[in-house]
Amino acid sequence: MTEEFNRRDFLKTTATAGIGLSLGTASLGGCAAQLESPPVPITVPPLDKVRMGFVGVGHQGSSHVSNFLRIPNVEVRAVCDLVPDKVARIQQLVEEAGQPRPRGYSSGRQDYIRMCSEEDLDLVFTATPWELHAPVCKTAMLNGKHAATEIPMATYIDECWDLVETSEKTQRHCLAMENCCYDRTELMILNMVRQGLFGELMHAECGYLHDLRWHKLTDFYEERWRVRHSIERDADLYPTHGFGPVTQWMDINRGNQLDYLVSMSCQTRGLNLWAEREYGADSPAARQAYKLGDVVNTLVQTRKGQTILITHDTNTPRPYSRKILLQGTKGIVRKYPEALIHIEGRSPGHNWEDLAEYVEEFEHPLWQEEMRARSEGAGHGGMDYLEDYRLIQCLLEGKSTDMDVYDGATWSAVIDLSERSIAGRGRSIDFPDFTRGAWKNRPPLGIIAGQHVEIQFSRWDDSSVPTLLTTGG
């Protein structure tokens, strides 16, 4: 690290990036006062092809471009990045895939605005630093494009409300691309939940536990943008990898809702100690004051009385984990450090079983043989391809997306809410209801196969008998 991070410069570069989006921690109500009427469902006609533009094509963005180029009826028309060499690399990749050279945009931090206004696109996908996710999505929708973003969808509550309002007003999809919702194990657990294997759901644990000290304090990220959030905020900065799948299991925004949370963080040591060892005690990185506690724990209560424990831990030496655990009245399943399950009346005694023994019976249709073959070699074990494939499939069919603007807003809200709770010495903070009551009547996410055949299971009861419905063709 060669220079001190400067808060004023950081906020100066981000505050001008969006159209009407605040980066401050304003009131929880935010734009809610403007959204007193029931939500307006997004209904759009099917597309014969999806013309795409990309904003941010670094590590994750370029991986998504490769995925979309493998999906039929997708055209990559435009690419935007602050670094011209990254734009040129993606242009070459698209040409090598047999498509015309996409138009490039690299004239400054806000060139995505020009791309969204000039290009005839159906979908804009952003994989920029977090603080640009909401501005890019809003700009895309205001220019008549659907918007998809790497997680989180936003970092403050007002941004979440603004994206909900803009999506409804423009009738354009806006979604957070949470790849872990398409992980093979997480989808298998969803299938098990829908078939009543765990009974009534009681408690879940999840999180993002990933040693990122090297990533934060080297040039891995352009301009070292990620560590700036660790300097400025004490919060669960990255909740959605574990939280997204858990909310789908518990039908959040679809028959259930989040009620409130409490958060606490421990002291901060990891980044300073790592920098001192790698760069020396007098280095700027070692002397920097980091606000983020090394371990942040957030406890969430749902309207049905369930609890969810979310852990954020990116500054300590540890193996990777998303801490997946689900407890129901009939059994329990966990994923880390190994995938194990116990079902009352089925598992022997009080012993764990290997979850692999349940794959043949409960494999999610999206991970059956054909889709496994399609996703082979894609990022994060194939789940990145599946999330990209499902988005395109929904747009081509004119169907609702698996994850929508209400999900993205709900998951992302944990960042701001946890920060408020920690600042208030563990004070409980209510969750905003981005659906404005519509969650009570929205059906749960069904089990969706590759050709949009959906199996919807009845809510849990003592018989746990599924109701099978099919939609689409």
Q: What is the pLDDT of residue 369?
A: 58
Q: What is the pLDDT of residue 460?
A: 35
- For the domain made up of 181-371+388-446, the CATH class stated in words is alpha beta
Segments in the chain below pLDDT 50: 1-27, 33, 452-453, 455-473
HEC per residue, the chain:
CCCCCCHHHHHHHHHCCCCCCCCCCCCCCHHHHHCCCCCCCCCCCCCCCEEEEEECCCHHHHHHHHHHHCCCCEEEEEEECCCHHHHHHHHHHHHHCCCCCCEEECCCCCHHHHHHHHCCCCEEEECCCHHHHHHHHHHHHHCCCEEEECCCCCCCHHHHHHHHHHHHHHCCCEEECCHHHHCHHHHHHHHHHHCCCCCCEEEEEEEEECCCHHHHCCCCCHHHHHHHHHHHCCCCCCCHHHHHHHHHHCCECCCECEEEEEEEECCCCHHHHHHHHHHCCCCHHHHCCCCCCCCEEEEEEECCCCEEEEEEECCCCCCCECCCEEEECCEEEECCCCCEEEECCCCCCCCCEEHHHHHHHHCCHHHCHHHHHHHCCCHHHHHHHHHHHHHHHHHHHCCCCCCCHHHHHHHHHHHHHHHHHHHCCCCCEECCCCCCCHHHCCCCCCEECCCCCEECCCCCCCCCCCCCCCCCC
Q: What is the pLDDT of residue 368?
A: 83
Q: What is the pLDDT of residue 442?
A: 95
Q: What is the pLDDT of residue 448?
A: 81
Q: What angle do CA 246, 26, 108 make, to 5 degrees?
A: 85
Q: Are 329 and 200 in contact (CB under 8 A)?
A: yes
Q: What is the pLDDT of residue 41?
A: 85
Stretch(es) of the chain classified as CATH 3.40.50.720: 7-178
Stretch(es) of the chain classified as CATH 3.30.360.10: 181-371+388-446
**Whether the model pTM is above 0.75:** yes
Superfamily for domain range 7-178? NAD(P)-binding Rossmann-like Domain (3.40.50.720)
